[in-house]
Chains A and B, each alone.
Chain A
Amino acid sequence: DGGITQSPKYLFRKEGQNVTLSCEQNLNHDAMYWYRQDPGQGLRLIYYSQIVNDFQKGDIAEGYSVSREKKESFPLTVTSAQKNPTAFYLCASHTAERPTNEKLFFGSGTQLSVL
């Protein structure tokens, strides 16, 4: 079955440490996204990529970095510059084909906490 896989489900970060969240999709989607969700809040866009080897900053990109070397993969690194990283991180993908119902497919999320 096609879908998006995020790992790990839970991740703990020590102060000053960089951590990387994995996101892999086998839906053959061109566009991929990283969102951050804080308790009781909506989704805020961190980074997005519409094509391999290209990505753009979202609304809260500071302290994060991404790469898009393969169509299937869009890993997110939470750097030590991100001072408040505790949140639920969601990866999503979307087909670039038209017409579209604008449907985003989400992974199951990674809960990142600070030790």
Chain B
Amino acid sequence: GQSLEQPSEVTAVEGAIVQINCTYQTSGFYGLSWYQQHDGGAPTFLSYNALDGLEETGRFSSFLSRSDSYGYLLLQELQMKDSASYFCALSNAGNNRKLIWGLGTSLAVNP
């Protein structure tokens, strides 16, 4: 089967850097995505890694290592508004392109 694991909660302070890890088990996939969701809101797309390596988008970066079955989301210069849940998701290999979702990591940014 396919599964993803993320830490359930992470706490950090404003201005710091935090890394949210995502490990997975799957037989094949197109890539790894990251989404942000504030309480009561809809998930919004942050980043996508189709290949191994680092993708940078402003304060957020995402990394993928297929050989290690591992990825992470790196948030720099944390702001209070970054307090949210962060989900990793795998794009299932095959024609249906279903996403397999992790259970999410709740990030609390404190002053």
Tell me the A residues contacting B by CB distance below 8 Å: 31, 40-45, 48, 50, 56, 58, 90, 94, 101-109
Q: A42-B101, A43-B87, A102-B91 are in contact. Are A108 and B42 (CB under 8 A)?
A: yes
Q: A102-B30, A102-B97 are in contact. Are A41 and B103 (CB under 8 A)?
A: yes
CA gap between A48 and B99 in the complex, in Å: 11
CA gap between A48 and B103 in the complex, in Å: 20
Task: Check if A42 sits within 8 Å of B96, measured CB to CB.
Answer: no
Task: Check if B41 sits within 8 Å of A109, measured CB to CB.
Answer: yes
> Which of A31, A104, A105: most chain B CB closer than 10 A?
A104
Task: Check if B42 sits within 8 Å of A106, measured CB to CB.
Answer: yes
CA gap between A50 and B92 in the complex, in Å: 14
Residue in A closest to B33 when the chains form the complex, CB atoms: A102
Task: Check if B42 sits within 8 Å of A107, measured CB to CB.
Answer: yes
Residue in B closest to A111 when the chains form the complex, CB atoms: B40
What residues on B are CB-neighbors of A101 within 8 Å? 48, 50
What residues on B are CB-neighbors of A44 within 8 Å? 101
Tell me the B residues contacting A by CB distance below 8 Å: 30-31, 33, 35, 40-45, 48, 50, 87, 91, 96-99, 101-104
Task: Check if B48 sits within 8 Å of A45, measured CB to CB.
Answer: no
CA gap between A61 and B31 in the complex, in Å: 25
What residues on B are CB-neighbors of A90 within 8 Å? 42-43
Q: Which of B41, B44, B104 contacts A42 (CB 8 A)?
A: B104
CA gap between A45 and B87 in the complex, in Å: 15
Residue in A closest to B99 when the chains form the complex, CB atoms: A104
Q: A102-B30, A102-B31, A102-B33 are in contact. Are A45 and B98 (CB under 8 A)?
A: yes
